[in-house]
Amino acid sequence: MEIVELQLKAAQIRKDLLTIIHRAKTGHTGGSLSNTDILTALYYRVMNIDPDHPQDENRDRFVLSKGHSVESLWSILADRGFFAKEELLTYSQFGTRLIGHPNNKVPGIEMNTGALGHGLAVSVGMALAAKRFGKKYRTYCLMGDGEQAEGSVWEGAMAGAHYKLDNLIGIIDRNRLQISGPTDEVMGLEPLEEKWASFGWHVVSIDGNDMQELVQTFEAVPQVADKPTLVMANTVKGKGVSFAENVAHWHHHVPNDAEWEKALSELDSSIEKLKREGQVC
Amino acid at 202: H
State how many domains the chain has.
1
Angle formed at CA 204 by CA 232 and CA 233, multiple of 5 degrees? 25
Chain Cα centroid distance, residue 150: 18
Asked whether the beta carbons of 149 and 68 are under 8 A apart, the reply is: no
Average pLDDT, the chain: 97
The string of pLDDT tens digits covering residues 165-209 is 999 999 999 999 999 899 999 999 999 999 999 999 999 999 999
| Per-residue model confidence (pLDDT) at position 279 | 60
Pairing of strands 202-207, 181-182: unpaired
Q: Tell me the residue range of the domain where 155 lies.
A: 3-278
Amino acid at 11: A
Average pLDDT over residues 27-35: 98
| Per-residue model confidence (pLDDT) at position 280 | 56
Asked whether the beta carbons of 48 and 219 are under 8 A apart, the reply is: no
CATH number of the domain residue 35 falls in: 3.40.50.970
With 0-12 / 13-18 / 19 or more C-beta atoms within 10 angstroms meaning exposed / middle / buried, residue 131 is middle
CA atoms of 120 and 39, how far apart (whole Å): 17
CA atoms of 21 and 28, how far apart (whole Å): 8
Q: Which of 204, 177, 183, 184 is nearest to 193 (CA)?
A: 204
pLDDT band per the 50, 70, 90 thresholds, residue 281: very low
Q: Buried (b) or exposed (e) across 135-158, using 16+ Cβ within 10 A?
A: eebbbbbbbbbbbbbbeebbebbe
pLDDT band per the 50, 70, 90 thresholds, residue 278: confident
